[in-house]
Amino acid sequence: EQAEKNGYDHFMLKEIHEQPAALLKTMTGRFNKESMTVDFEELQWSDEFIAQWNKITIVACGTAYHAGLIGKHVIEELTRIPVDVEVASEFRYRRPIVNEKTLVIVVSQSGETADTLAALRQSQHLGANVLAITNVVGSSIAREADEVILTMAGPEIAVASTKAYTTQVLTFYLLGIYLAQRKHTVSEDYSRQLLQSVIEIPSKIEEILEHSKGIRWYSESIKDATSVFFIGRGLDHAVSLEGSLKLKEISYIHSEAYAAGELKHGTLALVEEGTPIIALITQDEISEKMLGNIQEVKARGAQVLGVATEGNVNIWEYVDQSCYIPCTHSAVTPLLTVIPLQLISYYTSLALGNDVDKPRNLAKSVTVE
């Protein structure tokens, strides 16, 4: 096992560091550098087939569900097709509105999650075309889906998912650009620009990983907290749900992620002197709103870590600690902001002496209900 960890103390840390390579592998062969277009050879859809979808439904569990939440933002923005995201265990026990005009996308690292597999079968029964985004070739979900896009994350051992999540999110960016190019829903310039930003992500993750010392110190400062809150808007909110799940899973600290605009509707009552809050602020159009939310929680005594894009906002003027991700297109920041959040949960779990790779009560793959 020590040899498999390749010099890292835990599989989770190894897998965090494998992300640049896993992302590169997942994008390899799926875009054309000259024409700057995305191509999924594995997808057999004609233009007419694509044109008939009036809705996309993404179904998944856990971290894969969180990847789907980013997928919703990306696909809606690029194609203007409405996208629902549902937890598989909820989807399967109601009468979902899914039919031959719906594309259902199931997302699963293992390809074996019982609820996700049931949702896939139910969707096919209702007449929908099902695309699976999975990491395991030959898995039940890969075998039964109508179409499959494989993420190339390689084996993920740590229960807390990291590289599977980022490769799933990357796949949604590529798929969004692919559909937009097929449907001509955004300008060629815009889709090229976005693809270029996606291509640059792996090297930017390397940069974050090289400068991660400050994150270790921050984790020491929250390890005795009873609650940690994450706030953000738009894509930042979607990624903060994943950051919060990671922290709960391996540090066992209670944590919640809130859409920052919802603070006033309840959560603000929980903020007291010293409450740690991690605020994500990478979305240019709504950064003023986020700064307002940060001031609200600071006024109640919160200790705020601000995670922002380099060169954008002078976040340090508003927060107690700051963490920067390299400059990038604001539509692709989730692939970068999640990295410090993964590291915060890793180092907090480590500081608490927990079993990082095998957290209590949790399994890597949930094949029974």
Q: Give me the active site residues, please.
A: 364
Closest approach of Cβ 68 to ligand G6P, in Å? 10
For the CB of residue 130, give the shortest distance to ligand G6P in the complex, in Å.
Answer: 14
Residue of 12, 61, 235, 271 interacting with ligand G6P (CB under 6 A): 61
Q: Which stretch binds ligand G6P (CB under 6 A): 11-19, 59-67, 200-208, 277-285?
A: 59-67
- Residues 165 and 71: beta-carbon distance below 8 Å: no
Give the shortest CB-106-to-ligand G6P separation in angstroms: 9
Interacting residues with ligand G6P between 147 and 176 (CB under 6 A): 159, 161
Q: Which residue of 19, 57, 110, 244 would you call a contact of ligand G6P, by CB under 6 A?
A: 110
From candidates 26, 102, 113, 333, binder to ligand G6P by CB under 6 A: 113
Using CB atoms, what's the residue nearest to ligand G6P? 62
The answer to whether 68 contacts ligand G6P (rule: CB under 6 A) is no
* Residue 57 interacting with ligand G6P (CB under 6 A): no
Q: Rounded to 5 degrees, what are φ and ψ at 208?
A: -60, -45
Is residue 287 near ligand G6P by the rule CB under 6 A?
A: no
Q: Which is nearer to ligand G6P, 238 or 263 (CB)?
A: 238
The residue among 102 and 108 lying less far from ligand G6P, judged by its C-beta, is 108
Asked whether position 122 contacts ligand G6P by CB under 6 A, the answer is: no
3 state SS of 279: strand
Q: Which is nearer to ligand G6P, 141 or 305 (CB)?
A: 141
Q: Which is nearer to ligand G6P, 67 or 307 (CB)?
A: 67
Kindly list the residues in this chain that would bind ligand G6P in the complex (CB under 6 A).
Answer: 61-64, 108-110, 113, 116, 159, 161, 362, 364-366
